[in-house]
Every structure is written in structure tokens, then in C-alpha cells.
Amino acid sequence: MIGYLFKRLGLALLVALTVSIIAYLLLHLTGDPAVALAGEGASDADIAMVRQTYGFDRPLLVQYGDWLWQIIRGDLGTSVYFKTAVAPLVFSKLETTLLLAVYSLGVALVISIPLGVLAALYKNSWIDRLCLAIAVLGQALPNFFFALILIMLFSISWRMLPVSGSGTWQHFVMPAIALGYYVAPAFMRLIRAGMIEVLGADYIRTARAKGLSPSTVIFKHALRNAIVPVVALAAVQLGFLLGGSVVIETIFALDGLGYLAYQSITFKDFPVTQIIVLLLSVIYILLTLASDIANAWLDPRIRVA
Amino acid sequence: MIMSSATNNSIAHSPKPVGSQASRRRTVWQRIQQNKALTIGCGLLLFIIVIAIFAPLFSPFDPYVQDLAYRTVPPVWFEKGTWLHPLGTDQLGRDYLSRLFYGARISLLIGISVACISGLIGTTMGMLAGYFGGRADMLVSFLVTTRLSMPVILVALATVAIIGSSLWVVILVLGLLKWDRFAVVMRSATQQVRSMEYVAAAQSAGASTFRILMTEVLPNVMPQLIVIATLEAASAILLEAALSFLGLGVQPPLPSWGLMISEAKAYMFFSFWLIAIPGTALAILIFAINLAGDGLHQLFSPDERA
């Protein structure tokens, strides 16, 4: 177990380091980051000044090392647009995005667990097909289009929910539904397939033969086993939700990391963008690390191999 | 939906003789016809492809010509609609039906090109990792893990913003980002094929590695490759729409469906159909591709029904 732990930890560190290189190089894609930062219509003198303030005139490796060292020391740089330190700016928005991701995951599970179980219990019936149709629709509907439909219904027609902002829990309802419905199909398919497999297992037949009530068999014996792979998927999807919330947060002007990322990109505030890319990647790396370690702890076969 | 027992699944390689070539072709054709997901999905997709190819023929108007006298005319099923513009006009008086038809070209172009680029990268990586194993496998696994840990939309948005947005930049950026699933699936598919006897036979016959990969491995992993390509094409189309919706994808006046939704956002309170029409078109296209992909998956792997 200790050996596995170290190996997995080393991999996570290496991945994080590679991501940091990519995040840093993003700015250098055009060849001259000073031109990109200075924006369109900047004079040569402006560009030269930007180049000097940011130290773009130094060798690339030195720049990267310097940038990374500052981040490790806790200095995330200064925002060009907001004129404040990046660290408090980014971390103040992190909570909103994490909340949204957790709510969305909740919505996805609330949709997918009952539907997945129903589809498995009534395999190949019209109920199964209906569940499949709901899943297929969720995958096909662009989530920004779905979000606009929700706004049209809940905010404009029925005046039940606020259109934008992030003050109260009501502000999270539509974004969470829009994001949650989009990731629900993946869970549904997994739960359905898992339930079908588990329901055919011997111990379910034993449980039924013992005379246990159908609900006990389904929920206590079957679902518990079918839901194990869902935990691993949840970790991956949580990472996706954190990164994928850019569009949804922008539509609802939900003041989280995604909206900040969108703002930083449109305002050419790339130091902020870099940090957000890095931060979201690191969160994803930590999530998968935690899920892998949990799995290894639960399943001895993994940590030995 | 209905699966026959005798198949010509290229991976399972059923040894049963299936009679003459003609009757074999007939069973395959029957299975295609019996596969509802495949027929409906491909039918819809074909319909959209035909519209995209012949957009100039079908379009009643030039999709770029503005007619400020006819702005936000509603579609024909509304009271104020007119058959002159069956789907109405947008905020600049451009015929919406024509823009919708031309928009299909952009979505399909994005889907196909991105799937080709990312498919080429991912398949190469996956096949090398699966065939050689060891260090190559470790390297590819590492690259896939790294790629998966980066938020696609965010990196794509930032890259497009830095390089400058255009249709080709969007295609290139998405193509360079979306190879992960190809690599993962092709790796495990190649691992399965590698242990087959015909690969060992080719090796002992002295065939070069490149030749073995191209003539022995690739044809046998093709079914999985096609299924992944459909899924990735659909996902690329959605990503382009999202990028264009945020204003960092395809640029005006091109009639990208995502861009059409974005431009109509300001008018959504009074003219929601401006959003609903391209949104529905996107959903139908993605639905068709996913359905065709599911159908192909069933066709290629009849044994593992879930």
C-alpha cells in the first residue's frame, strides 16, 4: 500500500508539473506574449513596456522557473484588469464554483439513480426506453441552450427564479439543473448496466429466496453494489463540472471561477487565466488521486498490481 | 435491437463458414436494417448532410444579405409570419432558414475535421502504447492523464483568445485537445488484437512494425475507432457551439448555430424562436450522431448487450 501510495503521489506531482508548463506556455502561443497582453492597437513603446514589466525579455526557462517558484511561495501574481492580487481574487470565487459543482452532481444523482434503477428493473420495457430517451435528450441538448430555456420558463414566464447573480440559493437552482442534467446520462448508463449485472448475481437470488422484501433486495443488496463504480465517475465528473461551468456561470452571471475565467479571457487578463487553468487542473488531479487511493484501499487487487 | 448469432464481427472472428459472399452481405444488410438506432440516426444524419452540401440550392435567400425592412420577422406558424421567410428573419433581417442551412455546413465541418485531427493523434498514440507496451505505454498513459486533468473548454477559450478566433483556429485547437478518448480506447483495443495469432504470424513472416500496425492491427480496431469518432465529432460540435456562443469561436457573419444563439440572446424575451431554432437544430444533429454511434456500436459488438 505504501509503495502504491508513493507511486501514485509521484505521478500526480509529475502531471501537475506538466500542466503548469502548459498553462505557462499558453501565453507564449503567439510567439510574443507582450503583444497579446498589450492588446490590439498598442504602440511599440507600450509593448516594450509590457515586455519589460513581465520580464518577457528573459529566457523562457528562467521565466517559467520564476513564475512557478512564486506560485509555490504563494504569490499568484497580479491581475492586469482587476489591478489586485490574483490569489484572493481566485480563492474568493472558488467557493461559488465548488458549490455549483456539488449541487450539479446532486442534481445528476437525483435524476440518474432512480431512472437507472427503474430502467434496469424494467429492462427493455417502455419504462427503459423512456429513461433512455431522457438520457439521450440530456446528451444532445447543448447545455447553454437548455440554460436559456430554463431562464425563459422559470424567470420570464413564471417569475420564480432570479435570472442572474449569485446572492442566494435560488441563484444556483437553474445553473445546477443545466449542468446536472448534462452529466446525468453518464451516471444513468453506469447505474443501469451495474444494476442489471448485480440483479443477475447469485447473492440477489439468495436474498430473494430468503424472503426479503423486493425493496430491501433492490436498495440494500443490489444498489449498494451497483453504485461502487459511480463513486469513481463522480470524482471525474466533479472535475469536469468545475471546468465546464464556464459557459453556465457566464450565462447566469454566477460569480464563480468559471465566470472569472471568462472575464479574464475577454479582458486579456491572462495571468488570471493561467492561474485558473492551473488551479482547476490541480483540483482535478487531487480528486482523481483521492478516488484512486480510496479504490486501492477498498480493493486490494489494485494496489498489488 | 435484434442480434443474429452468426456475425462477421472482425474482432471475435467467428470461424463458422457463412456461406457465399452474397448471402453474407445480405445478413449484414439485414442486421443494419433491423438496427433501429442505426437506421434512424444515419437517416437523420444523411438528411442534414444533404442539406449542408446543397445549402445554396435549398436556401431561399443569401444567408449574409441583410434586409433591414424585415427584421425579426417571426416564423410562419406565428400570426405575423410569412411564407417568404418560413423560419423568419434575424435581428439584421437575414433569412433564418438560409442561415440554418448554411450553419449545418459549419457544424459538420467542425465535427468531421476535429474527429480527423484528434483521431489521427489519439489513434497513433493509442496503437503505439497498446502494441509496444512498457515505456511507450507509460508515456501515453501519462500524456492522457495530463490532458484529462486540464479543463478543455477553458484551455480552448484561452488559446482561441490568444491566437485569434477563426473557424480554422477553432478546428485546430479542438483537434489538438480532444484526442484523449481515442488514445484510451485504441490502446485497449490494440492490446487485445496484439495477442491474436495473425499478428504473431505477420511478425514471424518478417513484416515491419509499421506494416503490422497498418494492415493487421488498424483494420481490426476500426469498429471501435468509428464509434469513438462519432462520439467525438458530436462533442466537438457542441464545444464549437459553446465557444461561438461565448463569442470566442467562429466569428460573425458566419452562420454558426452557436453564434446564432449568442447573437439572438439580447432578443430572447420577445423572440425566443431566434434561440429555439438553432438550438433545436444543434440538438437534432447531436442526437442523430449519437444515435448512429450507438447503432454502430451495437452492430459491431452484438454479444455485449447491456
Backbone angles phi, psi at B82, to 5 degrees: -140, 150
Over pLDDT 70: what percentage of chain B? 90
Q: Any idea which residue has 423486493 for its cell?
A: A214
Residue B79 CA, chain-centre distance (Å), reads: 37
| pLDDT > 70? residue A90 | yes
Task: Record the pTM.
Answer: 0.87
Interface of A with B in 158-177 (CB under 8 A): none
Cα gap B162→A270, rounded to integer Å: 9
Provide the number of CB pairs (under 8 Å) joining chain A to chain B.
Answer: 130
Cα gap B95→B79, rounded to integer Å: 18
From A24-33, A85-94, A185-194, B274-283, the region with the lowest mean pLDDT: A24-33
- pLDDT for residue B26: 67
The DSSP symbol for B69 reads G
Over pLDDT 70: what percentage of chain A? 96
The DSSP symbol for A218 reads I
Q: To the nearest 5 percent, what fractions of chain B are helix, strand and coil?
A: 70, 0, 30
Q: Tell me if residue A78 falls in helix, strand or coil.
A: strand
Q: Any idea which residue has 497582453 for its cell?
A: A37
Q: Please give the residue of chain B at the shortest CA–CA distance from A196.
A: B306
Nearest CA to A115 out of A56, A60, A191 is that of A191
- For residue A72, what is its C-alpha cell? 509555490
Look at A7 and A55; give whichever has higher pLDDT. Answer: A7
Nearest CA to B254 out of B267, B266, B241, B236 is that of B241
What pLDDT band is residue B289 in, cutting at 50, 70 and 90? very high
- The answer to whether residues A271 and A80 touch, using CB atoms and an 8 Å cutoff, is yes
CB contact B163 to A (< 8 Å): yes
- The answer to whether residues B71 and B255 touch, using CB atoms and an 8 Å cutoff, is no
CB contact A139 to B (< 8 Å): yes
Q: Any idea which residue has 469561436 for its cell?
A: B249
Nearest CA to A56 out of A290, A296, A271, A278 is that of A271
Cα gap A295→A303, rounded to integer Å: 9
- The answer to whether residues B286 and B234 touch, using CB atoms and an 8 Å cutoff, is yes
Burial of A43 (0-12, 13-18, 19+ CB in 10 A): exposed
Over pLDDT 90: what percentage of chain B? 40
Residue A149 CA, chain-centre distance (Å), reads: 23
Cα gap B71→B79, rounded to integer Å: 16
Residue A275 CA, chain-centre distance (Å), reads: 16
pLDDT tens, residue by residue, B164-206: 888 999 999 999 999 999 999 999 999 888 888 888 898 888 8
Chain B residues whose CB is inside 8 A of the A262 CB are 157, 246
CB contact A11 to B (< 8 Å): yes
Please answer yes or no on whether B242 and A262 come within 8 Å at the CB atom.
no
Cα gap A87→B157, rounded to integer Å: 22
Cα gap B260→B277, rounded to integer Å: 9
- For residue B172, what is its C-alpha cell? 485546430
| Helices and strands, counts by H and E, chain A | 15, 0
- The answer to whether residues A271 and A34 touch, using CB atoms and an 8 Å cutoff, is no
Give B213's Cβ-side CA count (13 Å radius): 15
Q: Please give the residue of chain A at the shortest CA–CA distance from B248.
A: A266
Cα gap A111→B237, rounded to integer Å: 25
Burial of B68 (0-12, 13-18, 19+ CB in 10 A): exposed
- For residue A187, what is its C-alpha cell? 451516471
Examine the predicted complex and report whether its ipTM is higher than 0.90: no
**Nearest CB to A29 within list B157, B163, B279:** B163
Rounded to 5°, angle at Cα A265 from A49 and A22: 80
- For residue A94, what is its C-alpha cell? 472558488
Q: What is the nearest CA distance from B13 to chain A, expressed in angstroms?
A: 26
| pLDDT > 70? residue B3 | no
Q: What is the nearest CA distance from A185 to chain B, expressed in angstroms?
A: 12
Q: Tell me if residue A159 falls in helix, strand or coil.
A: coil
Give whole-number Cα distances, B203 to A146, A199, B107, B213, B234, in Å. 53, 44, 43, 11, 38
**Nearest CB to B149 within list A26, A196, A284:** A284
| pLDDT > 70? residue B8 | no
pLDDT tens, residue by residue, B146-173: 998 888 889 999 888 888 888 999 999 9
Cα gap A280→A16, rounded to integer Å: 11
Nearest CA to B223 out of B125, B293, B149 is that of B293
pLDDT tens, residue by residue, A110-161: 999 999 999 988 888 898 889 888 888 888 899 899 999 999 888 888 887 8
Cis peptide before A214 (omega within 30 of 0): no
- pLDDT for residue B170: 93
Nearest CA to B185 out of B244, B235, B227 is that of B227
Nearest CA to A241 out of A190, A182, A289 is that of A182
CB atoms within 10 A of CB B21: 8
The DSSP symbol for B212 reads I
- pLDDT for residue A202: 84
CB contact B154 to A (< 8 Å): yes
| pLDDT > 90? residue B279 | yes
